[in-house]
Amino acid sequence: MGFGSPAVRQARGADARPDGVCLVVGSCASGFDPAKNTSGDLIYTCTDATEQGQYFWEAFPAGSGADHRTTYMFSYLDASEHRPSLEEMFEDYWRIMPAYQNVELEHLKVQRVLFGFFPTYRDSP
């Protein structure tokens, strides 16, 4: 079903606008050191909050290979139009991820990328 389903629209009302949005970008890549690729992070941050928001990370070994790792960066933002786009977030992802994961992008082979968003509401049914 999801946030756009008829059941959710009925519960929230036809004109319910989201109060915010969660933007998510990430990738699965190979090339990580298998000896260090044994644990994950959940809601980790390595940068300060800014006027635009705060980035959070999740990372964990992928089941497709000992050197494969899935890494996500996400942020909860208000619904203002001046917030970063998914494209801008992806640029930040590639800029920050090497320091976060202690790896050089040149050593990675990207298997797939992901991006998406979901609306957030203060008053949720």
Task: Pull the structure tokens for residue 116.
Answer: 């998406």
Q: What is the mean pLDDT of residues 77-81?
A: 86
pLDDT exceeds cutoff 80 at 67: yes
pLDDT exceeds cutoff 70 at 55: yes
Counting DSSP H helices and E strands in the chain, the numbers are 2, 5
DSSP 90-105: HHHHHHHHHHHHT--G
What pLDDT, on a 0 to 100 scale, did the predictor assign at position 125?
61
Is CATH 3.30.70 what the domain over 21-120 is classified as, yes or no? yes
Alpha-carbon distance of 6 to 71, in angstroms, equals: 32
Q: Domains of the chain: which residue ranges?
A: 21-120
Q: What is the pLDDT of residues 17-36, one digit of tens each?
A: 888 999 999 999 999 999 99
